[in-house]
Structure 1
């Protein structure tokens, strides 16, 4: 069923003000800055939302429009894959079409994805597909690392990624661009914007078309077809603002996107066709009012919906092997208020609201309605420019699991102009999803079946009676009604500016999760496929350090590097090995089975202990020329527990450590009207069959034309 086009629009009561929008980034791609990313220590970036990145004491990162353009990035995953401590991971269950983000060890379901402050929906198995989002009209990307649930909600236990589009329009202009390259990839975009009524209002439009033939990263086993399938996608966005007065404004936006993919695969027997169609729609209204010089009110409503249908059929007879029809939508209403009392060094930010979520998954027993409600308050104390203290609390309620009060606190201290210290503490609460509770899903091409925890006994018994389950393992006794996940996160860091040309950053983090919902194999199907369900893990610890360095060799040349060390593990596994519990007591080595030791435990799967990045950027604004060379390293990580002893040990299947290199160059001509761009990704052509979404060497080239009045070109 397609996404509903008519939206129920509640009326908005609090008023909001036309807070002055900051000047928008120059739409011409001439490189004005070399900084590929920056940690915002003291800035409060202007946006529609009162909750801004400058309020955070957790580690933050801002990726600028100029950096995105210079790198030649086309989709959101391409931007984030080059950032320190951020890993792109494929979702095998979606046929490798979906790629998610991992942040400080947190998997994708714990990282909130926003566009202009609005949460995006459409997660399958908890994974939000970053490749759905084009970055052609993005002004900047803001990242918060670590717990941010006190202001952003339960999905932000691991962090927030907020994609900010154009926030103000001061002149009429337009852009059209086209790129093409390897794998017959085509990327076309167009945008236009203009103010009206003497700048009392503006309208902005943008669109993107993207098409690729996909690729095969597993020719060793896949005889025909693609591991990353071909697809065609489109997206369009419209945004406008009207100022009723100097104190009140109304902003509206709508974004629609769709993707279709048809894929053929053959592993040597029973070739099949896989068809996928996705649609998503996002719309919102913000009403802002400056009630007094120190008080701002904001009321907003938004709708987000995601609709997907996947069908897998045998090529020889057209018999349906798998059919998945999933639809999710969210209506949310929220009111925010910010006030700065006169003559007091304190700022308060508070808000409250609720949402109504509905789900539909044909063929499953997932209940289709869930409601949530929330309220939050944060205070910020800044007696001087050198010291800032924040403290907040948030209450999240759920129609099925009740509620919980979450606390947060943070401090930033800058005793000198060259030194800054920060620390933050936060906790969170996340109830299980309906899919984790009630789904029954079989993925034919990847070979597994998943049954929700709350109906596992009933559905497993039905499948066993039908003769489709061969064996249910002993650990299935641990499958029971899921408990909500809770977390406590601590971050601390230091920034040192050794002169105007060099900056050092270092930080440490410690995340402790209780009742982590983990996907675990609990049996074998009759045809040899795996049987999975969901189990609460009592406690998981993820801890590590991050370090970064930036050096401006000249005003036009900058180097930067980053490193993350991560230790992510389940302490219960270590305890079970010490206690020689039945399942954990041995490991299978090339020389046979021996007793396990705690040193055999590598940690949680799909987490690398070592990650690093290196970047060199050069720009000559007078020549309109810029170039960028980047490299990323990801250490080995556990992929599969082959001996079924309950953990990844040193003899299991690992993805080897690897390095990826990228290069791009761009040139502006004709008084900045024309921009030429050439990029090369994965220069060495590195691939691994265990990384089905990693392409080989990719070359792209293209041009953009900018329409503007000559007097406005700067």
Structure 2
């Protein structure tokens, strides 16, 4: 009997084991580009699951331990058209190869920012401007501001003492929401977003929404949204190092390490940047007179950023992530100029989960915390502080909790429901009444995406916000896309809402004899945005023209107020206070063009006309020009093991208006060559060399005035990137 039981058991487990092996399913293949070359790092995943991988150095991929069933396979690679294929997997090995075609101007790429759900750029109902991975890498930009001005005429950056003030179509950066992988950045230096935290070497692509986007992104999104999607390798092991050297001892290094080990993926990046800075003029303005100074227009700096993300794919349907970052920047000033420099720190952490209910339905929830600190850092003994000491000026904190549900109601109808809780805090002794201030808002939104007759798409939604200090508000939005033949016609109407910031309400400080004051009696700002655009795409040519108008009510800005007794004795020459100045408007036209001219050449560029003004005073908005333009000529050449890209770009714009003197218009031309060497085992090498500002333009206005650009003239740079993938 015992032998019989043993024999039966052996037969049972043998049969079970054989059955299990018979059920083992694998999927493999090779991904090629349109010239037949293998694509390294292409993303391959099964829709509706958390199962995916990336191609290796030879363009090969493999997915194992699958179940025999029908799947939708997605294949994507930045700069190429997305491929979606319905496949049936049977027991054993399954093989599927695919060829990806290059996407003209990124129109075949998938974007998510406009609706919060994926769409091919060409078919996205909400107008979205995409800066592709190829365009970003071809420019070889030194920083984020240089990158955006080289690629998009709608953007401008007004140089300031502690950084650059960003504008979109004439509206300033406090009307712009900046996201990194869909999560808000927070904190500012001197009123402008600290964009040093964004390293071009880490950027995969940038998605840009223009105009009121409060429906999905809440307060601040009156001028638009910039969503920066960072690079993350899906190969088993990926290690990268990039080193860039330029004039004025400008030095950058960026390092990334990615591991994809079954259910767990990690991404780590560390970057450091430094520069000695430079002067544009030896003189500065002092009450109408010019005096010699050691102050630099571009201050010397040293900064680092560390980011870490871990993703755990618990099941085919459920995944979690945790992430965090640390950033610190020192801006140095000459000891002859001031007894201190500036120090900035930023710390973030967050966690989230995503559960796939079925093919395209999912629930997503996450929490994000951002703390931004601003200090004086003393370069000598000064006012009771010793050299190296720091004194805190400001501590800004953001807590953001989000919940979103997306349901594919039918093949032509998708519904999004969401909740968004936002809490802001600010701590500052001597600059905020009672040393601290806070505000919070709770919002709920609904959005419906409907397709009619395969050529008409409508996205409509409504957001309700309840603010602690300013009550309730509604911000509806509707976008329509009609696609007859090779044309796309897009129209958008939306309302925007922006509560006053804690700084606008409660913050006060003194700078160069001017006292800036908050005002707790401010009202929220609202906007009405309309746009209409026409886009043509055929045979390597894409061309779009978009007209827009953005009316802002109760715009908040500084106004000069009467001096008080004792001001002159205390060195105060002017008092400025925040007020609602009634109405402002930004209207204009954006033109974008991209043409694949053949023989490896691509011609592109854009033009932006901006009419931005304060309707109450009948004056222009400060820091805004009327005409902006970009020109771009690219050449690509490839053969097995080597790829060449040459980029010639130009940025042109006219004078920018300020009430106390305009900033000079300019034209700056750059030349960059990128050389990539692949077939070197598991390594890839990329060498980039370039000339910035070929014709040596310099805005040598005295320090303290307004600069059009901070370029120091003609400079050279060289960059080496080494990738290891396994």
- TM category, shorter: 0.7 to 0.9
Task: Give the corresponding residue for 1:100.
Answer: 165
Q: 1:528 to 1:282 in 2, by over 3 A?
A: closer
Q: CA deviation at 1:315?
A: 8.3
TM-score, length of structure 1 as denominator length: 0.80
Task: Give the corresponding residue for 1:514.
Answer: 553
Contact 2:547 2:589 (8 Å CA) reproduced: yes
Which among 403, 407, 420 is matched to residue 335 of structure 1? 403
Matched, 1:488 2:528: yes
Cα distance in 2, alignment partners of residues 356 and 338 from structure 1: 25
Cα distance in 1, alignment partners of residues 58 and 657 from structure 2: 43
Task: Give the corresponding residue for 2:670.
Answer: 662
Cα distance in 2, alignment partners of residues 625 and 551 from structure 1: 19
Q: CA deviation at 1:36?
A: 12
Contact 2:126 2:459 (8 Å CA) reproduced: no
Q: CA deviation at 1:678?
A: 0.7
Task: Give the corresponding residue for 1:472.
Answer: none
Contact 2:207 2:226 (8 Å CA) reproduced: yes
Task: Give the corresponding residue for 1:234.
Answer: 304
1:474-494 deviation digits (Å, cap 9, x = unpaired): xxxxxxx21110001011100
RMSD of aligned residue pairs (Cα, Å): 3.1
Aligned residue runs from structure 1 range 549-560, under 5 A: 549-554=593-598, 556-560=600-604
Cα distance in 2, alignment partners of residues 331 and 316 from structure 1: 36
Q: 1:245 to 1:363 in 2, by over 3 A?
A: same
Task: Give the corresponding residue for 2:585.
Answer: 541
Aligned residue runs from structure 1 range 587-602, under 5 A: 601=619
Q: 1:37 to 1:451 in 2, by over 3 A?
A: farther
Contact 1:38 1:62 (8 Å CA) reproduced: no
Matched, 1:450 2:450: no
Q: 1:442 to 1:18 in 2, by over 3 A?
A: farther
Cα distance in 1, alignment partners of residues 53 and 473 from structure 2: 37
Cα distance in 2, alignment partners of residues 485 and 31 from structure 1: 38
Which among 304, 316, 332 is matched to residue 370 of structure 2? 304
Contact 2:211 2:223 (8 Å CA) reproduced: yes
SS of equivalent to 1:303: strand
Q: CA deviation at 1:542?
A: 0.9
Task: Give the corresponding residue for 1:158.
Answer: 223
SS of equivalent to 2:710: coil
SS of equivalent to 2:248: helix
SS of equivalent to 1:160: strand
Aligned residue runs from structure 1 range 67-82, under 5 A: 67-82=135-150
Which among 618, 632, 652 is matched to residue 635 of structure 2? 618
SS of equivalent to 2:697: coil
Matched length: 614
Cα distance in 2, alignment partners of residues 37 and 276 from structure 1: 44
Matched, 1:272 2:338: yes
1:449-483 deviation digits (Å, cap 9, x = unpaired): 101123xxxxxxxxxxxxxxxxxxxxxxxxxx211
Matched, 1:678 2:663: no
Aligned residue runs from structure 1 range 303-702, under 5 A: 303-310=369-376, 325-342=393-410, 345-366=412-433, 367-416=436-485, 418-444=486-512, 447-454=513-520, 481-497=521-537, 499-523=538-562, 525-526=567-568, 527=571, 529-554=573-598, 556-574=600-618, 601=619, 603-622=620-639, 623-641=642-660, 653-669=661-677, 671=679, 673-688=684-699, 689=701, 690-691=706-707, 694-696=710-712, 697-702=714-719
Cα distance in 2, alignment partners of residues 485 and 46 from structure 1: 27
1:328-347 deviation digits (Å, cap 9, x = unpaired): 111221110000124x5211
Residue segments in structure 2 that go unaligned for 5+ positions in a row: 1-46, 60-76, 82-100, 285-291
Q: 1:32 to 1:549 in 2, by over 3 A?
A: closer
Cα distance in 2, alignment partners of residues 317 and 432 from structure 1: 34
Task: Give the corresponding residue for 2:196.
Answer: 131
Q: 1:148 to 1:669 in 2, by over 3 A?
A: same
Task: Give the corresponding residue for 1:464.
Answer: none
Question: Rg bigger for which structure?
Answer: 2
Q: CA deviation at 1:543?
A: 0.6
Cα distance in 2, alignment partners of residues 25 and 101 from structure 1: 39
Task: Give the corresponding residue for 1:259.
Answer: 329
Q: CA deviation at 1:240?
A: 2.0
SS of equivalent to 1:437: helix
Cα distance in 1, alignment partners of residues 308 and 720 from structure 2: 23
SS of equivalent to 1:150: helix
Q: 1:31 to 1:399 in 2, by over 3 A?
A: closer
Task: Give the corresponding residue for 1:208.
Answer: 271
Q: 1:209 to 1:325 in 2, by over 3 A?
A: same
Q: 1:160 to 1:654 in 2, by over 3 A?
A: same
Task: Give the corresponding residue for 2:4.
Answer: none
Cα distance in 1, alignment partners of residues 56 and 662 from structure 2: 43
Contact 2:542 2:595 (8 Å CA) reproduced: yes
Q: CA deviation at 1:295?
A: 1.8
Q: 1:373 to 1:27 in 2, by over 3 A?
A: farther
Cα distance in 2, alignment partners of residues 233 and 491 from structure 1: 40
Contact 1:365 1:439 (8 Å CA) reproduced: yes
Contact 1:620 1:626 (8 Å CA) reproduced: yes
